[in-house]
C-alpha cells in the first residue's frame, strides 16, 4: 500500500462491531470490485453513492466511529512508521499467499511486520507445543527445526515459552530464519535478544492486532490461527488435553490441515496420543511418518474437515451397498468427533446425499441424480 | 459560511470588523478542508487565519510551534477573548501536563499549542489519539525544509504525520521566510494538494544598513556609539555563545544596560531575559539566533549583527522580528572580512567523517542503543553523534524509537547505503547561499529589494530608507581611545568556571581569559608546545587580577597545582609564583598514580572522565578542614579538577576553589 493509505487501512482493520470476514467482504466489494481507493470508499460510507454495501447497524456504528477518528489513526500511523514497522495490506504483493489460501476470508486484512519481508512468502514450518513440556518435546523441536532449516524453510514461532521459543532459537542456532507471530500489538514488543537477527534479516516479527494492544490469553489463542495459516507444514511437539495447542490442533484438523505430531513415549501423559486418534499424523524424532497399529476399540474420535467427512460418508454408504444410513450409524462407522446434529448439517449442505424417511428414521442415501452442472448443449 | 457571516462572527469573538482579503482566502480554504501553505511577512496577522476557523470547527486545533514565548502570548490573548486555548511545553510539571491532556481529551480546548519536539513524547502521543482533532497548524513551516536556514529534526515527524492525514482535512503551514526553493521543498515534503498563498514580504519601516569594520575592535566601538545615540531597545546578534558573553560584558563595562542570551543558558535565566526584554528592562539583549525563536515584542527598535549570518534567509528571519509595530526600525550589519571564517567553518566542517558514520552503523548492528550507549561505544562528541544519528534517521538507515525515557536507535533491516552525495549537495547549496549574503554586503541595489527578490518576492520599488537608497556607505575604524578602553576591558574580564554541585565542596572558579580569544592563548601555546619557557609574567599579573576580582579578600590555606601530563613543570613553577605573591602555602603532595593522556585527545565527555578517573592520589599531611586553591593552566571540560576535588574532599578539604589561566571556548 502507499504509505498515505495507512490511516485508512488502520481505520478499517481496527473498526469495532465488524468481523474480519465482513471487513474482507467490504474490501472486495468496495475497493477490489468497485476499483476505487479505500480513502474514497470510506468517504462514501455515509452517502453510498459509489458502493452499496449492506452494513449491519453495529458495523456502520463501528466504521463511522473509525472514520471520525481518522486524524487520530494518522497520529498512530505516524508512530508505526517511525518505529520502522512495515504495514502490509491483504492487497499487497508482500502479503503471504499461504496465509490467504489457508484462511480465506479469515485472513487478517492488515499485518504489521518488522524485519525481512521476503520471509513471508517462503515455505514455512510451524512447530508448536505447550509452554511447559517434556525434554523429549524440546529435543523433537530442536531436531525438526534443524532439519527444516537445512531445507531452507522458515520456522514459524508463536514466541511463547517452551516449544515456541525452542523452535525459534534452534532455527537461529542453525543459521536459519524465523517468523515470530506475536500474541499482542507490535508496538508493545521489544527484544534485545532477537534485535541483531532482525537487522541481519533472519527474523521477521508479525502482528495482526492494533499496534498498542497488550498481550492477552484471548490473543494468544487467536494468533494460533495465523501460525497455522502461515505454515505449509505443521509439527506438534507436545500438547496438553486442553489449552492453546490442543485447541489449535483440533481447529487445524477441522480445517482439513495435515498436522504432524511427535509420537508419544509409552505411558506419556500428554494429549499427543489423543490427537493422533483425532487425525494428526504421528512422526518420529526425525519427522518421518510412523504407522501406528489401528486400535479400533478405543473411544477416540477423529477430527475431519467437512469435505473429508463428505468423502468418507460417501465411501461408507457405498460399502454399505448403497443402503441408507442414519446419522448415528455414520458416526459409529466413521469414528469422528462430531455431534449428530453436526453431521446432519454437514451432509444436508452437500448435494451428494438425499434424506429418506424409513420406519420413523431419517436415513442418508447417495443422490443418484446428476448434480446441476451448467451445460453448453 | 460566507464572508459577511464570518465577519459578523469575527467581530463578536475577536473584535475586528474585517479580514484582509488574503486572510479570508486562507480561512475559506481551511473551512473547505484544504491544505494551505501561507507565506506572509511578520505582522501580517497569520495567526487569525487559523484561530478563526479553529473557533468554528468542531474539535481541537493542534498548533505546532517552536516559539515557546510566542505560544504563551497567543494563548493568553485567546483566553482574554474568552477562547479556550492552552499550551503544552517542556517547562510544565508532570501534573500540569496531565491536567492539560485530560481536559483536551474531554474536548475542552479549541486550540492547543505544542512544541514540535512533543511529537516525540510518549504521553502526548498516547493522549492525542483520544482527542477530537479539527485541524493541524504548523507554524514556522520553513523549519521543515533542509534547504531552509533553520531545519529542525523534530519537524521530520510532523511532516510524516501530515502525509498520513486524510486528504480532506484542514492543515495550515505558515512561515514568514521562504525562498522559492524552500517553498518547493515544503510542497514536496507535505505532499497532497496544497493551496499556496504567498504575500509580499517588504518591510516598509526598516532602514537596512551595512557597516564595514576594519577590525573586531572597530565593531566593538561602533556598536557602543550606535547604542548611545539610539532610542528604544533591541537585539545584538552574535555568532557564538561566548561572543554573546564577551559583548554583553563589554557593553556593561562602558555602562550600557545589556544582558546575554543563548541556548546554553538554563531555562529560568532565558525566561527572565525574555521577560526583561518585553518590559524594556535592557537597552539590548546580546544573543545567538536562539533568541529570534522566542520573542514576540512589537517595538524592537533595532537589530544589530556583529557576526555575518550564513545566508540572506537567516538574515531576513533574524531581523524579521523587529519593528512589528510598523514604526521606523534600524537594522545594522557590522562586517569585518575575518567574519567569513565562522559561517564557512560551519559549512565546511560540521559533518563528521564517513568513517564515523560507519562506526555508528556498526555498533547498531549488534544492539539497539540509546544516545549515551552510542557515545560510549564510538568515543565521539555528543554533538557529532547527534549529527550522525539525525542524518542516519533522515536517510532511513536508522530509526529512532521514542521510549518513556529517551530514544532507542535501531538499525533498519535492508537499510540503504549511506548517501554522502546529499551532504555534498547541501554543502554546495550553503556555500552558494553564503555567497548571496556576501553579495548583499556589496550590492548597490536597494537592500530591501535585494532581500525580497532573493526570497522570490519581486519588488519594483526601492524602500528609500536603506543606506544604498540614501546614498550613504559606512566604514569604521577604532580610535586609539577606543583601543585603550577595549584593552582595559579585556584585562578586567574573567570567565567563570561553573563547577558547583550539591554533593561536592568544589566551588565555581575563575580563568584569566578565554583561550584563543586574546593574546593569552598564544602565550600559553608558546610555553607549552614551542619550548617558550615559563609562562610569561603578564599571565601571572592577569591571573592574580582574576583571583582578586573573583575571590576578593577570601582566605585560602593551601595551594595545590594539577600534576602535569606533558608540559613539565610549567604549572608547578606558575603555582609557586602565585603562592609567593598571595602568601599561601603550596603543597607538592598531589600526585598521579597512573599515566593519563592529554584530555584534548578525548572527544566525548565520557571518555575524558574515564581518562582521569582514579588518576590522582594525595600523599601529604592532613588537609582536614582546609580551604584549597587549585591551580591549572587550561580549563576544558572540568573533569580533571572534579576528579582532584573528589580526592581532596576525601582527605577532609572543606573548600576547593579553582584558578586557571585560560578557559577553552568549547569548555563548559
pLDDT tens digits along B648-659: 999 999 999 999
Instruction: List the one residue out of A116, A117, A173, A111 whose CA is nearest residue A142.
Output: A173
Q: Stretch B467-489: mean pLDDT, rounded?
A: 92
CB atoms closer than 10 angstroms to residue A340: 12
B168 contacts on A by Cβ (under 8 Å): 43
Mean pLDDT of B77-85: 95
Across the interface, do A201 and B128 touch by the CB < 8 Å criterion? no
ipTM, two decimals: 0.78
Q: What residues does B135 pair with on adjacent strands?
A: B61
Confidence of residue A370 (pLDDT cuts 50, 70, 90): low
* Helix then strand then coil, % of chain A, to nearest 5: 45, 15, 40
B646 phi, psi to nearest 5 deg? -60, -45
Short-list A73, A119, A20, CA closest to B131: A73
Among A66, A67, A75, A213, the strongest candidate for a mutation testing the B interface, having the largest count of B CBs within 10 A, is A75
Residue numbers in B near A72 (CB within 8 A): 128-131, 133
Q: CA triplet A278, A281, A283: central angle to 5 degrees?
A: 135
Residues of B in contact with A195 (CB under 8 A): 367-368, 410
Output the pLDDT for position B448: 94
pLDDT category of residue A377 using cuts at 50, 70 and 90: very low
Task: Provide the CATH topology of domain B3-198.
Answer: Rossmann fold (3.40.50)
Nearest residue in A to B363, CA atom? A196
In chain B, % of residues over pLDDT 90: 56
User: Parallel, antiparallel, or unpaired: how do β-strands A124-129 and B111-114 relate?
Assistant: unpaired
What is the rounded CA–CA span in Å between residue B642 and residue B622? 20
φ/ψ of residue B511, rounded to 5: -120, 155
Mean pLDDT score of chain B = 90
The tens digit of pLDDT for each residue in A249-299 reads 988 888 888 899 999 888 888 889 888 888 899 999 888 888 765 555 556
pLDDT confidence bin for B668, thresholds 50/70/90: very low
Model confidence at A375, pLDDT cuts 50, 70, 90, reads: very low
**Which residue in B125, B164, B168 is closest to A7 by CB distance?**
B164
**Which residues of A fall within a CB distance of 8 Å from B160?**
78, 81-82
Task: Please tell me the distance in Å from B2's CA to the nearest CA on chain A.
Answer: 25
Return d(Cα A208, Cα A90) in angstroms, integer.
11
Q: Which of residues 76-115 of A touch B (CB under 8 A)?
A: 76-79, 81-84, 114-115
Cα-based angle A115, A117, A119 (whole degrees, multiple of 5): 105
- Architecture per CATH, B348-423: Orthogonal Bundle (1.10)
Contact A198 B413 (CB under 8 A): yes
User: What is the per-residue pLDDT for A302?
Assistant: 76
Residue found under cell 530442536:
A142
- For B363-383, the pLDDT digits (tens) are 999 999 999 999 989 988 888
- pLDDT average, residue stretch A82-102: 95
Is B136 in contact with A192 (Cβ distance < 8 A)? Answer: no
**What are the start and end residues of each CATH 3.40.50.300 domain in chain B?**
3-198, 206-339+440-487
B491, HSE (Cβ side, Cα atoms, 13 Å): 12
The mean predicted confidence, pLDDT, of chain A is 89
Using an 8 Å CB-CB cutoff, list chain B residues near A69: 129
The span from the CA of B273 to the CA of B286, in Å, is 10
Average pLDDT estimate for A207-222: 93
Beta bridge partner(s), residue B63: B113, B137
Q: How far apart are CA B604 and CA B602, in angstroms?
A: 6
Chain-chain contact of B411 with A79 (C-beta, under 8 angstroms): no
Kindly state the cell numbers that stand for B75. 494563548
Residue among B155, B166, B364 with most chain A CBs within 10 A, to mutate:
B166
pLDDT of amino acid B17: 94
For chain A, where are the alpha helices, taking DSSP H only?
6-13, 20-27, 38-43, 57-68, 70-82, 97-103, 135-150, 163-173, 195-200, 217-230, 244-254, 272-278, 306-319, 327-334, 340-349
Q: CATH 3.40.50.2020 residue ranges in chain B?
A: 494-663
pTM over 0.80: no
Total beta-carbon pairs less than 8 A apart between chain A and chain B: 83
In CATH, the architecture of B494-663 is 3-Layer(aba) Sandwich (3.40)
Percent of chain A residues topping a pLDDT of 90: 55
Class level of CATH domain B206-339+440-487:
alpha beta
Instruction: Specify the range with the lowest mean pLDDT, choosing from B185-199, B427-441, B475-489.
Output: B185-199
Q: A10, A9, A15, A8: which is closest to A66 by C-alpha?
A: A15
Report the residue of A67, A199, A212 to disrupt the B interface, i.e. the one with the largest count of B CBs within 10 Å.
A199
Nearest to B367 among A114, A195, A200 (CB): A195
Residue A14 has pLDDT above 90, yes or no: yes
Q: Tell if the CB–CB gap between A195 and B413 is shorter than 8 Å.
A: no
Q: Which residues of B touch A9 (CB under 8 A)?
A: none
Residue of A nearest to B169 (CA): A71
Amino acid at each position: 500500500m502507499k504509505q498515505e493509505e495507512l490511516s485508512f487501512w488502520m481505520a478499517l482493520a481496527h473498526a469495532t462491531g465488524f468481523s474480519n470476514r465482513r471487513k474482507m467482504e467490504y474490501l472486495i466489494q468496495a475497493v477490489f470490485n468497485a476499483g476505487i481507493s479505500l480513502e474514497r470508499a470510506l468517504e462514501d460510507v455515509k452517502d453510498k453513492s459509489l458502493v452499496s454495501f449492506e452494513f449491519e447497524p453495529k458495523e456502520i456504528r463501528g466504521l463511522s466511529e473509525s472514520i471520525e477518528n481518522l486524524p487520530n489513526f494518522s497520529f498512530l500511523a505516524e508512530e508505526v512508521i517511525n518505529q520502522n514497522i512495515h504495514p502490509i495490506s491483504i492487497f499487497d504483493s508482500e502479503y503471504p499467499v499461504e496465509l490467504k489460501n489457508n484462511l480465506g476470508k479469515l485472513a487478517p486484512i492488515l499485518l504489521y511486520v518488522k524485519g525481512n519481508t521476503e520471509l513471508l512468502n517462503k515455505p514455512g514450518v510451524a512447530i508448536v507445543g505447550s509452554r511447559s513440556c517434556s525434554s523429549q518435546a524440546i529435543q523433537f523441536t530442536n531436531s525438526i527445526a534443524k532439519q527444516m532449516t537445512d531445507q531452507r524453510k522458515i520456522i514459524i514461532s508463536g514466541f511463547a515459552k517452551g516449544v515456541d521459543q525452542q523452535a525459534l532459537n534452534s532455527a537461529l542456532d542453525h543459521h536459519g530464519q524465523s517468523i515470530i507471530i506475536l500474541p499482542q500489538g507490535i508496538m508493545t514488543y521489544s527484544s534485545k535478544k532477537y534485535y541483531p537477527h532482525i537487522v541481519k534479516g533472519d527474523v521477521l516479527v508479525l502482528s495482526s492486532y492494533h499496534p498498542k494492544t497488550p498481550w492477552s490469553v484471548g490473543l494468544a489463542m487467536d494468533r494460533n490461527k495465523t501460525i497455522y495459516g502461515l505454515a505449509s507444514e505443521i509439527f506438534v511437539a507436545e500438547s496438553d488435553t486442553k489449552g492453546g495447542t490442543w485447541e489449535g490442533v483440533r481447529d487445524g484438523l477441522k480445517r482439513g490441515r495435515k498436522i504432524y505430531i511427535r509420537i508419544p513415549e509409552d505411558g506419556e501423559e500428554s494429549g499427543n496420543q489423543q490427537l493422533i486418534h483425532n487425525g494428526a499424523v504421528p512422526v518420529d524424532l526425525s519427522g518421518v511418518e510412523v504407522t501406528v497399529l489401528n486400535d479400533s476399540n478405543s473411544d477416540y474420535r477423529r477430527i475431519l474437515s467437512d469435505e473429508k467427512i463428505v468423502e468418507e460418508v460417501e465411501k461408507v454408504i457405498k460399502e454399505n451397498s448403497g443402503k441408507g444410513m442414519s446419522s448415528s450409524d455414520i458416526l459409529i462407522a466413521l469414528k469422528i468427533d462430531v455431534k449428530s446434529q453436526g453431521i446432519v448439517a454437514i451432509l444436508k449442505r452437500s448435494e451428494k446425499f438425499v434424506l429418506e424417511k424409513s420406519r420413523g428414521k431419517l436415513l442418508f442415501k447417495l443422490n443418484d441424480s446428476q448434480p446441476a452442472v451448467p451445460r453448453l448443449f | 459560511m460566507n464572508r459577511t457571516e464570518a465577519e459578523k462572527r469575527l467581530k463578536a469573538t475577536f473584535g475586528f470588523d474585517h479580514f484582509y482579503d488574503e486572510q479570508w482566502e486562507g480561512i475559506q480554504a481551511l473551512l473547505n478542508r484544504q491544505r494551505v501553505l501561507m507565506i506572509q511577512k511578520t505582522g501580517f496577522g497569520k495567526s487569525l487565519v487559523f484561530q478563526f476557523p479553529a473557533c468554528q470547527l468542531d474539535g481541537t486545533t493542534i498548533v505546532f510551534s517552536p516559539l515557546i514565548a510566542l505560544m504563551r502570548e497567543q494563548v493568553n490573548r485567546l483566553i482574554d477573548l474568552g477562547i479556550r486555548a492552552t499550551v503544552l511545553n517542556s517547562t510544565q510539571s508532570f501534573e500540569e501536563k496531565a491536567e492539560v491532556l485530560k481536559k483536551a481529551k474531554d474536548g475542552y480546548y479549541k486550540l492547543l499549542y505544542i512544541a514540535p519536539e512533543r511529537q516525540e513524547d510518549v504521553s502526548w502521543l498516547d493522549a492525542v489519539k483520544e482527542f477530537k482533532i479539527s485541524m493541524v497548524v504548523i507554524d514556522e513551516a520553513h523549519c521543515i525544509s533542509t534547504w531552509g536556514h533553520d531545519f529542525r529534526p523534530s519537524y521530520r515527524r510532523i511532516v510524516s504525520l501530515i502525509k498520513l492525514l486524510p486528504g480532506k482535512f484542514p492543515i495550515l503551514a505558515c512561515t514568514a521566510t521562504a525562498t522559492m526553493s524552500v517553498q518547493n521543498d515544503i510542497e514536496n515534503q507535505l505532499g497532497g494538494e496544497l493551496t499556496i498563498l504567498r504575500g509580499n514580504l517588504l518591510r516598509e519601516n526598516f532602514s537596512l544598513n551595512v557597516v564595514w569594520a576594519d577590525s573586531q575592535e572597530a565593531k566593538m566601538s561602533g556598536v557602543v556609539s550606535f547604542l548611545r545615540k539610539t532610542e528604544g531597545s533591541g537585539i545584538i546578534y552574535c555568532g557564538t555563545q561566548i561572543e554573546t558573553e564577551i559583548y554583553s560584558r563589554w557593553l556593561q563595562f562602558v555602562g550600557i544596560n545589556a544582558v546575554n542570551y543563548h541556548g546554553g543558558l538554563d531555562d529560568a535565566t532565558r525566561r527572565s531575559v525574555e521577560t526583561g526584554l518585553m518590559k524594556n528592562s535592557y537597552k539590548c539583549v546580546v544573543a545567538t539566533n536562539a533568541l529570534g525563536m522566542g520573542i514576540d515584542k512589537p517595538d524592537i527598535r533595532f537589530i544589530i549583527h556583529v557576526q555575518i549570518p550564513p545566508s540572506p534567509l537567516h538574515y531576513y528571519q533574524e531581523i524579521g522580528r523587529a519593528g512589528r509595530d510598523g514604526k521606523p526600525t534600524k537594522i545594522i550589519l557590522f562586517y569585518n572580512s575575518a567574519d567569513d571564517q565562522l559561517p564557512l567553518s560551519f559549512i565546511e566542517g560540521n559533518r563528521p567523517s564517513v568513517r564515523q558514520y560507519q562506526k555508528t552503523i556498526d555498533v547498531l548492528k549488534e544492539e539497539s542503543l540509546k544516545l549515551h550507549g552510542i557515545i560510549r561505544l564510538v568515543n565521539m562528541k555528543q554533538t557529532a553523534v547527534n549529527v550522525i544519528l539525525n542524518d542516519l534517521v533522515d536517510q532511513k538507515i536508522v530509526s529512532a524509537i521514542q521510549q518513556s525515557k529517551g530514544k532507542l536507535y535501531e538499525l533498519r533491516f535492508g537499510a540503504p547505503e549511506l548517501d554522502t552525495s546529499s551532504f555534498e549537495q547541501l554543502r554546495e547549496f550553503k556555500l552558494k547561499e553564503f555567497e548571496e549574503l556576501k553579495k548583499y554586503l556589496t550590492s548597490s541595489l536597494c537592500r530591501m529589494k535585494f532581500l525580497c527578490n532573493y526570497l522570490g518576492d519581486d519588488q519594483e520599488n526601492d524602500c528609500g530608507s536603506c543606506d544604498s537608497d540614501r546614498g550613504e556607505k559606512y566604514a569604521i575604524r577604532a580610535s586609539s581611545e577606543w583601543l585603550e578602553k577595549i584593552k582595559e576591558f579585556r584585562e578586567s574580564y574573567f570567565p567563570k568556571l561553573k563547577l558547583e554541585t550539591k554533593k561536592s565542596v568544589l566551588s565555581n572558579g575563575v580563568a584569566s581569559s578565554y583561550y584563543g580569544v586574546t593574546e593569552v592563548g598564544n602565550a600559553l601555546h608558546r610555553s607549552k608546545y614551542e619550548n617558550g619557557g615559563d609562562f610569561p609574567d603578564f599571565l601571572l599579573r592577569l591571573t592574580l587580577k582574576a583571583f582578586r576580582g573573583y575571590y576578593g579578600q577570601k582566605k585560602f590555606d593551601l595551594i595545590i597545582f594539577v600534576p602535569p601530563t606533558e608540559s613539565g613543570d610549567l604549572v608547578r613553577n606558575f603555582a609557586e609564583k602565585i603562592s609567593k605573591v598571595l602568601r599561601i602555602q603550596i603543597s607538592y603532595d598531589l600526585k598521579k598514580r597512573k599515566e593519563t593522556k592529554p584530555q584534548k585527545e578525548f572527544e566525548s565527555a565520557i571518555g575524558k572522565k574515564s581518562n582521569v578517573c582514579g588518576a590522582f592520589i594525595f600523599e601529604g599531611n592532613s588537609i582536614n578542614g582546609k580551604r584549597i586553591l587549585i591551580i591549572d593552566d587550561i580549563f576544558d571540560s572540568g573533569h580533571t579538577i572534579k576528579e582532584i576535588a573528589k580526592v581532596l574532599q576525601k582527605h577532609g578539604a572543606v573548600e576547593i576553589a579553582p584558578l586557571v589561566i585560560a578557559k577553552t571556548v568549547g569548555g563548559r
